[in-house]
Structure 1
Amino acid sequence: MAKKSKSFSQVQVTDVLEQLGQRGTSAPEFIYDLLRIFAGYGDGQIRRTKVGPGNLAKDGETVLIKNLVAYREAVVNTLDGDCSKMYDVINAMRDDAKIAKHSPRLYIVSNGVFVVAYDPKENDWYENRIDLLWKDFEFFTPLAGIEKIQFTAEAEADVKSAELMAKLFDDIRRYNDIRDPQIVHSLNVFMSRLLFCFFAEDTGLFPEDNLFTNTLRTHTKEDGSDLAKFIDHAFLAMSTNDSAVLSTLPKLYEVFPYVNGGLFRDRYPIPVLSRRARTLILNCGEYNWREINPDIFGSMIQAVVTPEHRAGLGMHYTSVPNIEKVIRPLFLDALEEEFETACAEAREKMAKKANHDRASQRLRNLLNRLSNIKFFDPACGSGNFLIITYKRLRELEIRIWKAMREITGMALLPFPNITLTQFYGIELDEYAAETATLSMWLAEHQMNVKFQEELFVL
């Protein structure tokens, strides 16, 4: 999501870029086309950049504007779609101290047909045909002074991770035919599995921290040419504990544990993945997914697969308090009130020297009640209502166990009373239903960790 200036019109930029694609451009002129379209450069500024002080580079091959852009023409033939050498040109600019000291916001290379760019602030790469820029140009909006909104600390990690997943989906969509329903289904499963791996490697579900991300970084090429094969083998290793199947894989995949529950059960073709996809996957893995809320996953997936919803991603995040506005008067406030009453009664009985079991009986009854309530959402979507309800009940459960310990002074051995089998939902959209299931699993693990930390601290 970007903060838009009053003079910036996405519709107008789309139209101008489409016209540029139709008429064509050249490698020397392409940077000036971008400066006109995004930075609002007029003829005078273009002239000063071409032949005057507007260009800080003195090497005769670079267009360098302080805090804005570093550009070079690609002198390699990339008409066949192989842009690998263009990445080398960008890396050469990044390694040039004379260029880097002017802090270019974007590094760009083009041969007049293709464009490759790098965003040092977001550590993100971009590759496309110039005649297709009109479909996907948000990468270049920093040239117009449009930057990402800085979210509050509570929401930043959630939203930023969702944006990275959306970028990854866009990059995959560029190389795969998403009109084919079977390919769409495979892609849905692929994105869910990646999401699980990111979460699992930061929450103790995998035997090592950052297991998936570090193994991918170490054992795949930077150009992404072997990325699909690596991920396919990793998913296969996680799909089974059959030694006969595992013996067909290279030993490096032995680090991945068997993941039951069906998420990895079926083998689907991995989508075509690019150099940028590898960078985005590694960037996703850099987040601490232990702090990512499973209740954002629904909004995350919606933003990933439905680009028109991305501008409102921050608003989707606020759906959590909106959900609470529904569930609190419906049942949660009554349970909270019963908890307060039970605590007061227990303290009163303890003051009268009642035995511990009798004093805490009402709190125990409340725990039993929580374990018997059933929750049903007839149009659950990606499961946000069910996830928030589950988490709030588990938090109340923790408070009840703490209260019984505090009030009675007994060294009670707590155990979880609330299970996922109490939660039901109906959803027609396959991917939304899969997301809801995955999110509930992850929410359960997250709350089990919290239960352990808060009630079993030595």
Structure 2
Amino acid sequence: MSPREFITKWSESTLGERQAAQSHFLDLCRLLEVEGPADADTSGETYAFEKGAQKTTGRSGYADVWKQGAFAWEYKGPGRDLDAAYAQLQQYAPALGNPPLLVVSDTRRIVVRTNWTNTVSEVHTFELADIAIPETLQKLRWLFVEPERYKPTVTREAVTQDVAGSFAELADELRRNGHEPLVVAHFINQMVFCMFAEDANLLKDKMFTRVLETALSGSDSFEELASDLFSKMHAGGRLGLEKVPHFNGGLFADRDARALPLSSDQVQRCLAAASLDWSQIDPSILGTLFVRGLDPSKREELGAEYTSRETIMTIIRPVLSDPVLADWAKTKSEIEALIEPAAKALSAELEAASQYPELAEEIREVRSSLTGGPQLALFDELPKLRKHRQLDQVRRGLRGADRAYRQALEEGEASYKTFLESLRALRVLDPACGSGNFLYLALDELKTLEWRIMVEGEALGFERAFPSIGPEAVLGIELNPYAAELARVSVWIGEIQWMLRNGFDLNRAPVLKPLDTIENKNALVDADGNAAFWPDADVIVGNPPYMGAKFMKRRLGAEETARIRGVYKGRLPAFTDLVCFWFENARVMIEEGRAKRAGLVGTNSIRKNTNLNVMHRILDGTRIFAAWPEQRWDIDGAAVDVSLVCFGEHPDPAAYLDGAPVTEIHADLTAGLNLTLARPLAENAGVAMLGIQKSGPFDVAGGLAREWMAQPANPNGRGNASVLKPYWNGDDVTSRPRDVWLIDLPPGLSEAAAAQFAAPFHHIASTPDEDGKMIDELRDASGSASETYPWWEPWRRRPDMREKIERLERYIVTPETAQYRVFSWLRYPTLPDKNLIVIAREDDLMFGLLQSRFHELWSLRKGSDLQDRPRYTHTSTFATFPFPDGMSPDLSVDVALQAPGAAAISEAARELDRLRTGWLWPEGSWTEIGETTGDFPARRAPADQAAADLLRRRTMTALYNERPEWLVLAHRTLDEAVAAAYEVAGDIADDDLLEMLLAKNLERSSVN
């Protein structure tokens, strides 16, 4: 068919909807040279006319045409309301698999609306005359063969972020004008909601835009006009002659109804923002704008950060959607098992009855009545047939089949209603809800699940009702009162959007009802110091605040930190990250039967070290059924690694790690070999230690240290060299030595005695840290009284570690966090910083064992990590590592060196260290410079500028990035020597190696 023939035929057609629909569609297929439903799919499973879930009684489907993964298509007669057709498609979309394109048409117009999740919907309209245009034919062909061509490039998230950025500057200006940050944030969100309300047609005729336009014209001030509108939105009423709906919900309460004054330029910018389509805005914009409206120093107190929809859904699907759908599939299957046999039996009786001409008319009426649903009796319209015994027998068979069918429908409907009731009673709790991002997406999913199940229930023969799940289904706890309010508003916007998106009108009395289910309170501790109560819920979700244990006193205060830790004393270690307390509460809720499942976001350190305790407690009473150990998560523009953990009851017996099925997920969020079973070994105790934690301005550049050492003796008669020592951290190992020194005043000095070391003491007392805080402020923030704590000493001096390394010729260090696990030698008086782990041994044997592949693999699995850099945690790696027999750290070096293979390991370790040192410091590129004061070793310096340029590029990290062949061979020699000591093959597979080490650990720990 040519375009001209198509246009001519359908411009002259007077056929109605039923007569024209399939004929028009098939003509379109011929025009576009694509297959029609019967040609492409004779089964109708993926492409069909009258598509829907077919009733057992034979009722036809929902969409006039449907193609899987492409479109649902609804026809109307010429001149009929295509918007009504679109609303109908919206309602049936869930049962049709939410096709990406929803098409409505009559014989003269085709309207295509995009329906991809989380994209801004677009509309494409094609008139009959447009068929003559080649570009139109190409676009229509895309519907069938390349529907992805229609996918919008702009997501709701992108629109949200762009719009949020347009308000950031306005928020800053209002704060600079003297308005309180919380008032600014609240006011901006009132404007945001107004823009949403008018684009969602809740505020008629662009009412808020007209307020802005009137203010810009100079007729009245924006403050007065907007305040009047806000007041009417709170209570309902009229603004002039125009009716304003009753919104309520707290956002426009009387106490907050007053708008802030805006300049003409600011009004103009708001007017430009109002011109955008706010109806599809992501409700998470409220939290984003709220945070940007706050004073930067307050932002940390609020958890209302922007989080992507897809990341949140990664948690919501396994804890909410998947279990509900699995339970529904089971219930639906049971209902079908009830109805189908009865339906088949009834069909057979009807078929038998159809052989009698006397019953033909009655049978036709019965067949027709079956489309009405379960409430109809089949035989109300049948005449009494008593002329022939055979007819009576047929009638009795029909009567019995009718009773059985109706009974099956009634029983099935009872199961269906029971399931719907349980779904409508389901509650989702976010106990750290911030501005409600998790809650509004959970509500959106619940409503979609309810509607999908009702549509599928209708296909089974049950009456479809109006959707009834609403905002009351989501519960929240939030400490910040304005964030709690924002969560309520975000949930309501999500509710409104879902209803409009799926073709339903709103309950408008009022539009926003108060949501007392979102509470403003502390989620961990109540006012009396007891554990805070969480309301019962089926599902717990959320993104609790990220805060390491060491930061809690500084950020929450010593008193609040003590209250929290006191509540959980005996359950979790005191030095536990803040997020763990939310995991523990969720675990208790599940254990007590007050919740079924939880899906929470934690820092990826939740599966390591002291935090691992809460994960073990979870597994003691339930299971982890889904986890993502290393998920990239954007927080305030910065990408961090988090762990997503889902635990509790789940109908699927399998577990899923990073989306792949596994038998079991362990406490450290791994599958397979369970290394969390490894225990610290007594023979390893007291050898690996942390370096010095200075927590203040105790480190100084080498040049300044030498100036001080050159000064005359202090009033106490001692020179500054006696309180200065070379000081290394991880960068000195992985990069180049920084030439940094530590102010190391003797312990136990009074303030007066310490002050006699004049220059070093003055430096400590007067130098702020990178945040501008002085040393006494830092100590106060950490919960120690500055008048009693000797702030002129490093925070953690590590006297035990010092005592051990002073007795050694050299000692081993490794960076706590580094891209590669490398070990190096240091010599006292050089002191290690806290980000160096110290191993107090001076022998090549220990160095070789630690630098081997065996220990590296163990440390990667048993340690934690910071973003993409593995972290060596001596309490879980060194402490648990089973050294070869006869080489454990509790044995003296002389005894260990007698063990078989020890000499080969020592020799390989010496060679590896020699080669690496030679590469880092090539012959002729450096010179030694002795210190003029004090008993300090000479330091190495570049011989000239060319050497300096060369040495700058030669770092340990660069060496392992390059990994030259000589380095590979040196490590291979060392690994083979260590393998021989373990009596295993040198090329033992990683999993087998770890299994062997775990077996040794368990054997030795059971003996200990």
State the TM-score, normalizing by the size of structure 1. 0.55
Larger relative contact order, structure 1 or 2 (CA cutoff 8 Å, min sep 6): 1
Match of 2:423 among 370, 373, 388: 370
The answer to whether the aligner puts 1:334 opposite 2:323 as a matched pair is yes
Task: Write the distance in 2 (CA, Å) between the matches of 1:284 and 1:233.
Answer: 21
Query: Which amino acid counterpart does residue 158 of structure 1 have in structure 2?
Result: T
Q: Which stretch of the first structure deviates more once superposed, 350-359 or 432-441?
A: 350-359
Contact 2:455 2:464 in 1 (8 A): no
Q: Paired residue for 1:144?
A: none
Instruction: Please state how far the C-alpha of 1:379 moved relative to its aligned partner.
Output: 1.6
Q: Paired residue for 2:160?
A: 158
Task: Write the distance in 1 (CA, Å) between the matches of 2:277 and 2:470.
Answer: 26
Q: Paired residue for 2:499?
A: 448
Contact 1:167 1:280 in 2 (8 A): no
Query: Which amino acid counterpart does residue 216 of structure 2 have in structure 1?
Result: K
Query: Which amino acid counterpart does residue 444 of structure 1 have in structure 2?
Result: E
1:95-132 per-position Cα deviation (integer Å, ceiling 9, x unaligned): xxxxxxxxxxxxxxxxxxxxxxxxxxxxxxxxxxxxxx
Task: Write the distance in 1 (CA, Å) between the matches of 2:291 and 2:416.
Answer: 40
1:231-282 per-position Cα deviation (integer Å, ceiling 9, x unaligned): 122222323357xxx7xx7x36x45334323322224443231223212211
The answer to whether the aligner puts 1:428 opposite 2:417 as a matched pair is no
Change (3 A) 1:294 1:360: farther
Q: Paired residue for 1:73?
A: none
Contact 2:181 2:294 in 1 (8 A): no
Q: Which runs of 5+ in 1 are unaligned?
A: 1-149, 311-315
Instruction: Please state how far the C-alpha of 1:431 moved relative to its aligned partner.
Output: 2.0
Query: Which amino acid counterpart does residue 211 of structure 1 have in structure 2?
Result: M
Instruction: Please state how far the C-alpha of 1:395 moved relative to its aligned partner.
Output: 0.6
Q: Which runs of 5+ in 2 are unaligned?
A: 1-151, 300-304, 344-404, 506-1008
What is the CA RMSD across the aligned residues, in angstroms? 3.2
What stretches of structure 1 move > 6 A for 4+ residues in a row? 306-310
Instruction: Please state how far the C-alpha of 1:318 moved relative to its aligned partner.
Output: 5.0
Task: Write the distance in 1 (CA, Å) between the matches of 2:339 and 2:205.
Answer: 46
Q: Paired residue for 1:256?
A: 244
1:141-171 per-position Cα deviation (integer Å, ceiling 9, x unaligned): xxxxxxxxx9743433222222223233233
The answer to whether the aligner puts 1:214 opposite 2:267 as a matched pair is no
Match of 1:196 among 169, 174, 193: 193
Task: Write the distance in 2 (CA, Å) between the matches of 1:308 and 1:153.
Answer: 31
Change (3 A) 1:343 1:280: farther
Q: Paired residue for 1:187?
A: 184
1:427-451 per-position Cα deviation (integer Å, ceiling 9, x unaligned): 1112211110111121222223345
Q: Paired residue for 2:469?
A: 418
Query: Which amino acid counterpart does residue 228 of structure 2 have in structure 1?
Result: H
Q: Which stretch of the first structure deviates more once superposed, 256-265 or 299-308?
A: 299-308
Instruction: Please state how far the C-alpha of 1:400 moved relative to its aligned partner.
Output: 0.7
Q: Paired residue for 1:137?
A: none
Pairing of 1:347-426 with structure 2 (within 5 A): 347-352=336-341, 353=343, 354-355=405-406, 356-408=409-461, 410=462, 412-426=463-477
Instruction: Please state how far the C-alpha of 1:317 moved relative to its aligned partner.
Output: 5.4
Instruction: Please state how far the C-alpha of 1:394 moved relative to its aligned partner.
Output: 0.5
Change (3 A) 1:221 1:209: closer
Contact 2:230 2:252 in 1 (8 A): yes
1:381-404 per-position Cα deviation (integer Å, ceiling 9, x unaligned): 111121111111101011011101
Change (3 A) 1:239 1:398: same
Change (3 A) 1:209 1:293: farther
Q: Which stretch of the first structure deviates more once superposed, 295-304 or 437-446?
A: 295-304
Task: Write the distance in 2 (CA, Å) between the matches of 1:169 and 1:204.
Answer: 27
Task: Write the distance in 1 (CA, Å) between the matches of 2:449 and 2:298.
Answer: 33
Contact 2:185 2:293 in 1 (8 A): no
Query: Which amino acid counterpart does residue 288 of structure 2 have in structure 1?
Result: S
Change (3 A) 1:432 1:365: same
Bigger strand share: 2
* SS across alignment from 2:279: helix
1:303-344 per-position Cα deviation (integer Å, ceiling 9, x unaligned): 44377999xxxxx65532222222333233111212233333
Contact 2:441 2:494 in 1 (8 A): no
Contact 1:198 1:289 in 2 (8 A): yes
Change (3 A) 1:323 1:309: farther
* SS across alignment from 1:263: coil
Q: Paired residue for 1:234?
A: 229
Contact 1:239 1:264 in 2 (8 A): yes
Contact 1:379 1:426 in 2 (8 A): yes
* SS across alignment from 1:424: strand
Contact 2:156 2:281 in 1 (8 A): no
Pairing of 1:9-48 with structure 2 (within 5 A): none
Contact 2:175 2:181 in 1 (8 A): no
Query: Which amino acid counterpart does residue 196 of structure 2 have in structure 1?
Result: F
Match of 1:319 among 295, 301, 308: 308
* SS across alignment from 2:429: strand
Task: Write the distance in 2 (CA, Å) between the matches of 1:196 and 1:362.
Answer: 41
Pairing of 1:47-196 with structure 2 (within 5 A): 152-174=154-176, 176-178=177-179, 183-196=180-193
Q: Paired residue for 1:437?
A: 488
Task: Write the distance in 2 (CA, Å) between the matches of 1:344 and 1:309.
Answer: 53
Query: Which amino acid counterpart does residue 456 of structure 2 have in structure 1?
Result: A
Change (3 A) 1:342 1:284: farther
Instruction: Please state how far the C-alpha of 1:225 moved relative to its aligned partner.
Output: 7.8
* SS across alignment from 2:199: coil
Task: Write the distance in 2 (CA, Å) between the matches of 1:442 and 1:236.
Answer: 19
* SS across alignment from 1:221: helix
Task: Write the distance in 2 (CA, Å) between the matches of 1:235 and 1:392.
Answer: 31
Contact 2:429 2:476 in 1 (8 A): yes
Contact 1:228 1:271 in 2 (8 A): yes
The answer to whether the aligner puts 1:271 opposite 2:260 as a matched pair is yes
Query: Which amino acid counterpart does residue 178 of structure 2 have in structure 1?
Result: D
Query: Which amino acid counterpart does residue 214 of structure 1 have in structure 2?
Result: R
Q: Report the count of equivalent residues.
A: 284
Instruction: Please state how far the C-alpha of 1:227 moved relative to its aligned partner.
Output: 1.8
Task: Write the distance in 1 (CA, Å) between the matches of 2:337 and 2:263.
Answer: 66
Query: Which amino acid counterpart does residue 257 of structure 1 have in structure 2?
Result: P
Query: Which amino acid counterpart does residue 367 of structure 1 have in structure 2?
Result: L
1:159-202 per-position Cα deviation (integer Å, ceiling 9, x unaligned): 2222223233233234x214xxxx33432331221122111112
* SS across alignment from 2:475: strand
Contact 2:432 2:476 in 1 (8 A): yes
Instruction: Please state how far the C-alpha of 1:224 moved relative to its aligned partner.
Output: 10
* SS across alignment from 1:262: coil
Contact 2:215 2:222 in 1 (8 A): yes
Q: Which stretch of the first structure deviates more once superposed, 262-271 or 222-231?
A: 222-231
Task: Write the distance in 2 (CA, Å) between the matches of 1:436 and 1:224.
Answer: 36
Task: Write the distance in 2 (CA, Å) between the matches of 1:367 and 1:296.
Answer: 32
1:276-307 per-position Cα deviation (integer Å, ceiling 9, x unaligned): 32122112212222211224432343344377
